Structure 1
Amino acid sequence: MNTKNIFAIIITYNPDLKTLGELVERLRPQVGHVLIVDNGSDIDIQTWQCGAQDLQYVEILKLGQNLGIAVGHNKGIQAAKRTNARYVLLMDQDSVPEHNMVKELLSKLVSLPNVAAVGARYLLDRPTQVSPFVRTRGLSRDRLLCGAGTDAVQVDFLISSGCLISIATLDIVGEMREDLFIDYVDVEWGLRANHCGLNSYGVCSAAMRHSLGDAPQTVFGKSIGTHSPLRHYYYVRNALLLYRESWIPFNWKVADGWRLCLRAIVYMLFSKPHRANFRMIPLAILHGLSGRSGKMSDD
C-alpha cells in the first residue's frame, strides 16, 4: 500500500509547539508530503522550524492572518493538486496519529464502496476515552463504538482531523465551505458528500490521540464540550446556517437541532465568562437565522 502519494495538511493557529513537533514526527514517515498551513499565529512557525530537525522537510504556508480552518484546508488542497497527489490527509495541530494510522486509512479508502472519506477513531485526552463515531437514524443519533470484528462504520460525517480524502472525490464534492470559517465545516462537507451519493466511514483500526480543548461541562448527565464565547458563536450560528439548506435531510436537522438547543443553554448558563456568552449566543441565533456567515469582524 503506497502512502507516498498522500499529501498531509496540518492547520495551525497558535499551536502548542511540543504537540505539533510530535505530530510532525509521527506523521512524516507515513505520507509523501507534509504542509503546515499557518492561520496567522503569533508564534513564528518558520523560526521554530529552523530549530527542529523533524521540520526540515516540512513545507510551511503562512496565511498572515486567521482566515479560518476551511480556507486553510482549501489552500492545502490546492497545493496538493499542484503536486499531483492522489489523496489529502487533514490534520489538526492538536492530534497525534498512531504509527500505522495512514496505512490503515488508505487500505479502507481503496476498498470500501462509494466512499467519500475515511477517518480515524480518536482517544480524547480529557477525559481519557475513545470518542464514538456518529450516525443519524430517523430522529435519533447513534453513537457507534468499535467492537470485535468491526472494521469500519458508516457515519454522517467525520471530524476533519484524521480524515483521508481522494483528490478525485474533492473534484466531485467540492472543497470546504469557507464562509463557515470554523465549526460545522467538516459536518457540512460530509453531508454534502452524502448528498452526492458518497459515504463516509470511520475506520476502527486507524487511531490517533486528539484534544478537544477546554474541559467539558456535565449537565443533566450529559457531557458537553465548551470553548470560548467566540467559538460558541460560530458553533450555534453555523448549525443554523446548515438548517437553512434544503438539500440537508430534515430528520438530520431535527436530530441535530435539539442538541443545539441544549448546547446553547449550557453555553449561556454554565460556561464562563457568562456575560460574553449571554451576548454571543443570541447574536449567533440572529445571524444564523438571517443567513449571515463569514468571519466575525472582531475576531
Structure 2
Amino acid sequence: MKFSAIIILFYPERPILLNNIRLLENNGWQVVVVDNSPQSHKSWLSSSVEFRHCPENAGIAHAQNIGLLLARQQGRDYAMLLDQDSHLTEHLLQTAKQRVIEAQSRYPDLAAYGPTIVSEFDGQVVRAKVQRAVPDEHGFLHSRQIIASGKIIPLAVLSDVGLMEDALFIDGVDHEWCWRASRKGFRIISDTQVLLRHKQGESRKRVLGMTFKVGSPVRLYYQYRNILILLRRSYVPLYWKVRNCVALPVRWVINGWCLEQSKERRRYMRQGLTDGLRKRAGRYRADQ
C-alpha cells in the first residue's frame, strides 16, 4: 500500500514543519506540501517533497483538494491530511498505516480514519460532549465526524464522496465532508490506539468559569457564515444545528465584548451573518 501525507501551510513554523516531514519520509510516506502563504516556503524543502504554492490563499479546502488529486494521480492508496501545527511521532506514523488497513478490512465502507486528538493546550484527549463516538471491540471509535488533521482517506472513495467543498474555504470543511460521506453510506472511524497532539485555535480564554477557543478575528466570519450555510442542509446532523444555534449568541457576547480586538470581531461576525443569510460563499474580501 502506498501512502501520502498532505500538509497545508499558512505562515508555518519551520522547526515543526521540517521535523514532521523528516518523520514522514523516514517512515515511507510521500510528502505533499501545499502552501497558502503569500511567500513561498519551497526553499525550506528538499526536492523529494511535492510542493504547490497558492499565494492568493485559496483556502484550506482547495489546498487539500490539490494534494488529494495529486496523490490519486500518482497512484497512492491512502492520503493523510495534516495541519502544519500538528505534532507527529514515529509511533503514530507506523501504527496508523497498519490500523487504517485493518479498519478498512473490517469495515469496507470506510471513508475516513483518524487518530484520537490530544489538545496541545492542556494535554487532554478531545472528546465530544454530545453524540459521543461508539467504541467497538477492536479499539476503533465510530464517529459522525473527525477533524482534518491526521485524517486518512482511502483515495478510492473520492469517486463516490467527492472532494472537499471549496466554497466553505475553511471552517466546517472537515465535518461537512464526513457528513456527506455518511449520507452516501460510508463510515467514519477514529482510533484509540493512535494519538495526535494538535493545536485547535490560537489560544484559550476562561470567561465566567467556561473555557473558550480563541482564534483570529477573521475566522469568526467563516464560522458564522458557514454555520448559516450548513444549517440549511438536510444531511447535517440535527444536534450540530441545535448546538450551533445556541452557541452563536454566546460566541457573539464572548468575542464581541470579552476578548481583545472586540470591535473587529463584531465586524467579522456581522459580515458572516449577512453573507450566510445571502448564501454567499468563498473567500472573505474586505470590499464585499
Tell me the TM-score normalized by structure 2: 0.90
Matched residue count: 283
Q: Deviations for 1:45-90, whole angstroms, at most 9, x for unmatched residues?
A: 12222xxxxx442121112321100000000111112101111110
- Letter matched to residue 28 of structure 1: E
What runs of 5+ residues in structure 2 fail to find an aligned partner? none
**Cross-structure match for 2:26:** 29
SS in 2 for 1:78: helix
SS at match of 1:208: strand
Partner of 1:122: 117
Map 1:109-188 to 2 at 5 A.
Answer: 109-113=103-107, 114-132=109-127, 134=128, 141-143=130-132, 151-188=139-176
Residue 226 (structure 1) aligned with residue 214 (structure 2): yes
Q: CA separation in 2, counterparts of 1:14 and 1:8?
A: 19
Distance 2:77 2:210 in 1: 41
Match of 1:234, SS state, is helix
**Aligned partner letter, 2:207:** V
Q: What SS does structure 2 have at the residue aligned with 1:73?
A: helix
Aligned counterpart for 1:107 among listed residues 101, 104, 115: 101
* Contact 2:6/2:82, CA 8 A, preserved across alignment: yes
Deviation string, structure 1 residues 118-139 (Cα, Å, up to 9, x no partner): 111122221222222x3xxxxx
CA distance in 2 between partners of 1:97 and 1:130 (Å): 16
1:47-66 to structure 2, matched below 5 A, reads 47-49=43-45, 55-66=46-57
2:6 counterpart of 1:9: yes
Pairing 1:194–2:182 present:
yes
- Which whole-Å CA distance do the structure 2 matches of 1:92 and 1:192 have between them? 21
Q: Match of 2:87, SS?
A: strand
Aligned to 1:264: 252
Question: Offset at 1:29?
Answer: 2.7
Is the 2:133–2:142 Cα contact (8 Å) retained in structure 1? no
Which has the larger displacement, 177-186 or 283-292? 283-292
What is the letter of the counterpart of residue 8 of structure 1? A
* Residue of structure 2 in register with 1:237 after alignment: 225
2:41 is aligned, of 4, 26, 45, to 45
Q: Which moved more, 1:150-159 or 1:71-80?
A: 150-159
* Structure 1 residues 132-151: Cα deviation after superposition (integer angstroms, max 9, x where no partner): 2x3xxxxx71455989x771
- CA gap of 1:130–1:48, structure 2 versus 1, over 3 A, is same
* Residue equivalent to 1:137: none
Letter in 2 for 1:21: L
Query: Aligned in 2, Cα 1:88/1:106: closer, same or farther, shift over 3 Å?
Result: same
1:185 deviation in Å? 0.3
1:105 touches 1:119 (CA, 8 Å); kept in 2? no
The DSSP-based 3-state class of the residue aligned with 1:35 is: strand
Q: Report the CA distance between 1:33 and its aligned residue.
A: 1.1
What do you get for the CA RMSD once the two structures are aligned? Answer: 2.3
Structure 1 counterpart of 2:72 = 81
> 3-state DSSP class of the match of 1:129?
coil
Work out the CA distance in 2 between the residues paired with 1:153 and 1:112. Answer: 13
State the AA in 2 paired with 1:141.
V
Q: Confirm or deny: 8 A CA contact 1:105 1:164 kept in the other structure.
A: no
Counterpart secondary structure, 1:97: coil
Cα distance in 2 between the residues matched to 1:145 and 1:274: 39
Q: Check the 8 A contact 1:108/1:203 in 2, yes or no.
A: no
- % identity of equivalent residues: 29
Tell me which of 241, 261, 284 is aligned to 1:253.
241
- Provide closer, same or farther for how the CA distance between residues 105 and 220 of structure 1 changes in structure 2, counting only shifts above 3 A: farther
Asked if 2 retains the 8 angstrom alpha-carbon contact of 1:216 and 1:223, the reply is: yes
Question: Aligned in 2, Cα 1:145/1:171: closer, same or farther, shift over 3 Å?
Answer: closer
Cα 1:112/1:283, change in 2 over 3 Å = farther
